[in-house]
Amino acid sequence: MGRLSFEAIQRLPKTDLHVHLDGSLRISTILDLARRDNVELPADDPEGLARAMHCGENTGSLVKYLEAFDITLKVLQTQDALYRAAYELAQDAAAENVRYMEVRYAPLLHTRKGLSHSRVVEAVLDGLRAAQIDHGITSNVIVCGIRNISPESSLEMAELAVAYKNRGVTGFDLAGAEYDHPAKKHKEAFALIRKNNINITIHAGEAYGPESIEQAIHVCGAHRIGHGVRLREDGDLLHYVNDHRIALECCPSSNVQTGAVKDLSTHPLKLYHDLGLRVTVNTDNRLITDTTVSKELWLAHTKMGLTLQDLKQIVLNGFKAAFLPYHERRGMLRAIAKELADFEHEDNKTSERPGPLDLSDSDNGADAQHDHGARGSIGAA
Smallest distance, Å, CB 300 to Zn ion?
A: 18
* 122 versus 284: smaller Cβ distance to Zn ion: 284
Say which of 178, 206, 249, 296 is annotated catalytic. 206
Stretch near Zn ion under the rule CB under 5 A, chosen from 84-92, 134-142, 161-169, 276-284: 276-284
**CA 176, CA 70: separation in Å to the nearest integer?**
12
**CA 123, CA 54: separation in Å to the nearest integer?**
28
DSSP string over 281-313: E--B-TTTTT--HHHHHHHHHHHH---HHHHHH
* 4 versus 174: smaller Cβ distance to Zn ion: 174
**CA 40, CA 70: separation in Å to the nearest integer?**
12
Stretch near Zn ion under the rule CB under 5 A, chosen from 40-48, 134-142, 165-173, 280-288: 280-288
* 203 versus 330: smaller Cβ distance to Zn ion: 203
Stretch near Zn ion under the rule CB under 5 A, chosen from 134-142, 150-158, 186-194, 279-287: 279-287
Stretch near Zn ion under the rule CB under 5 A, chosen from 210-218, 235-243, 268-276, 277-285: 277-285
CA dihedral sign, ordered 260, 263, 264, 265? negative
* 88 versus 284: smaller Cβ distance to Zn ion: 284
CB 179 within 8 A of CB 142: no
Nearest position to Zn ion, beta carbon: 284
* 122 versus 190: smaller Cβ distance to Zn ion: 190
DSSP string over 74-111: HT--SHHHHHHHHHHHHHHHHHTTEEEEEEEE-GGGG-
Smallest distance, Å, CB 254 to Zn ion?
A: 7
* 96 versus 284: smaller Cβ distance to Zn ion: 284
Strand, helix or coil for residue 11:
helix
CB 317 within 8 A of CB 278: yes
CB 124 within 8 A of CB 86: yes
Smallest distance, Å, CB 342 to Zn ion?
A: 33
Smallest distance, Å, CB 145 to Zn ion?
A: 13
CB 228 within 8 A of CB 204: yes
Instruction: State yes or no: residue 206 binds Zn ion (CB under 5 A).
Output: no
Interface of this chain with Zn ion, residues 50 to 69, rule: CB under 5 A: none
Catalytic status, residue 206: yes
Stretch near Zn ion under the rule CB under 5 A, chosen from 81-89, 283-291, 341-349, 365-373: 283-291
Q: What is the size of the binding site for Zn ion (CB under 5 A)?
A: 1
Contacts for 216 with CB less than 8 Å, ≥ 6 apart? 174, 183, 202, 204, 222, 225
**CA 75, CA 189: separation in Å to the nearest integer?**
28
Residue 128 parent element (H or E): helix 117-135
Smallest distance, Å, CB 58 to Zn ion?
A: 17
The alpha carbon torsion through 19, 22, 26, 29 (nearest 10 deg) reads 150
CB 18 within 8 A of CB 226: yes
* 172 versus 368: smaller Cβ distance to Zn ion: 172
Q: Which of 22, 88, 122, 284 binds Zn ion (CB under 5 A)?
A: 284
The contact set with Zn ion (CB under 5 A) reads: 284
> Could you list the active site residues?
206
